[in-house]
Structure 1
């Protein structure tokens, strides 16, 4: 493998202004890709851009709320006009939502979790599918959670949204299985992020790995050599889930 395994590739990263998305965007740029960094927070995007440029990389910043469906639709058109293709997509943006009994959840809170964690990713797929198919080895990776499979009380909106995301992504993988495009998910496990701190306020963050531990797996999932599609890479076990 060369020092720049993603040279000359265009990779879109959502939720790129902090946490896992920020870390992955920085690493993907360091691997040689032109990163299209998408997030709501302009300040976080600008900090990311400063880091990427200081390391000799290149990024395009896209301040965008992914619940803005028409904005997501326009993203595909803009990227087509500029690049003609997209080689990779990291669907990372997500929210935790309320952790409480199902009967106590306000409809607006339920709708927000589904809008960000599910519908926004469907809109991304709809917008970027032609561009990823236009690439010689398009790759898409979405961030899921063990909550999608290990169901427990009080995590309803988040668990349901991640289960729906997995169904969405595997459906897309089945629909593209005769093409070069490979579509997968990654379960990061317990990492030191703001979302984890909100979900587990009594947990010592110093006992957790930082998001950097995901970088080797994600770079491998973006590589043209990847053969898997419609699978979940489980970082805690270091293997594909059955």
Structure 2
């Protein structure tokens, strides 16, 4: 059970990387964190870690591309918790780096399903509870890919542009309600899995993404940014915050010490 007065934050994609780091930081900030991801063992282990540290955490295995499962999740939260105050739409990912001419439509479809439709599912399902809280926040973790194109990234760029437009449009549509819409757009972030998953386990290709970059961003850097945005006074909305490492001037201009 959530202690009286403890705000509740739902984090998608919480099994690793930015999601797991965000869950840890929100828990430390006093939130009861609800950890969701497809990998049940990972979110359960993280929930146990947070609980052992004296925080409040609940694990829930969830595939955000499965709308009936998302609706069941929202119903379960309504039964078990007094409110939902924050939704961090972090689940996402990239597949491949092929040009438009040879890109696999299946990869494009999967990226759109997770980055856009999955975010739509969770936002629609939890928006009533966020509104009923009287002080809700929707966070959408997009990417600098959602704001500028680059060669070899069209599928991911298109999906993250979709996530950006979802955030921007939702903010317009619900203005006047007690819900903020925050978009965090990370640039080059080095995590254990993002680039490796993009290149289907090819460790060499994954390593080349960060070659020569002395200090790419970390998952903790983005988690810190998300936590800061969420914990601003209620009347303050961080519409869009772009976060890059100092070595990255744009999606295509990166200083590498080779």
TM-score, structure 2 normalization: 0.83
- 5 Å-filtered alignment, 1:182-197, equals 182-193=180-191, 194-196=193-195
Contact 1:26–1:51 (CA under 8 A) maintained in structure 2? no
Identify the residue that residue 66 of structure 2 maps to in structure 1.
68
Tell whether 2:207 aligns with 1:201.
Answer: yes
Identify the residue that residue 225 of structure 2 maps to in structure 1.
217
Tell whether 2:23 aligns with 1:15.
Answer: no
Where 1:96 maps in the other structure, the secondary structure is coil
What are the superposed Cα offsets for residues 162-190 of structure 1, whole Å, 9 maximum, x if unpaired? 11111111111111110111011102222
Alpha-carbon RMSD: 2.1
Structure showing greater Rg: 2
Whole-angstrom distance in 2 between the partners of 1:34 and 1:186: 21
Whole-angstrom distance in 2 between the partners of 1:195 and 1:149: 19
Whole-angstrom distance in 2 between the partners of 1:78 and 1:42: 16
Which stretch of the first structure deviates more once superposed, 181-190 or 228-237?
228-237
Where 2:207 maps in the other structure, the secondary structure is coil
Identify the residue that residue 235 of structure 1 maps to in structure 2.
243
Q: Alignment length, in residue pairs? A: 232
- Residue 140 of structure 1: how far off its partner (Å): 1.3
- Residue 105 of structure 1: how far off its partner (Å): 2.1
TM-score, structure 1 normalization: 0.88
What are the superposed Cα offsets for residues 61-104 of structure 1, whole Å, 9 maximum, x if unpaired? 11111111110122211111222421001100001012101232
Where 1:147 maps in the other structure, the secondary structure is helix
Identify the residue that residue 117 of structure 2 maps to in structure 1.
119
Identify the residue that residue 52 of structure 2 maps to in structure 1.
54
Contact 1:114–1:161 (CA under 8 A) maintained in structure 2? yes
Which stretch of the first structure deviates more once superposed, 54-63 or 44-53?
44-53
Listed as ranges, the gaps of 5+ residues in structure 2 are: 200-205, 247-258
Whole-angstrom distance in 2 between the partners of 1:97 and 1:151: 16
Listed as ranges, the gaps of 5+ residues in structure 1 are: 1-6
Contact 1:169–1:230 (CA under 8 A) maintained in structure 2? no
Which stretch of the first structure deviates more once superposed, 126-135 or 100-109?
100-109
What are the superposed Cα offsets for residues 89-131 of structure 1, whole Å, 9 maximum, x if unpaired? 1100001012101232222221111100000111111100100
Contact 1:139–1:223 (CA under 8 A) maintained in structure 2? no
1:209–1:166 CA distance, 2 compared to 1 (3 A): closer
Whole-angstrom distance in 2 between the partners of 1:168 and 1:18: 24
- 5 Å-filtered alignment, 1:32-111, equals 32-111=30-109
Contact 2:217–2:245 (CA under 8 A) maintained in structure 1? no
Whole-angstrom distance in 1 between the partners of 2:161 and 2:237: 17
Contact 2:40–2:61 (CA under 8 A) maintained in structure 1? yes
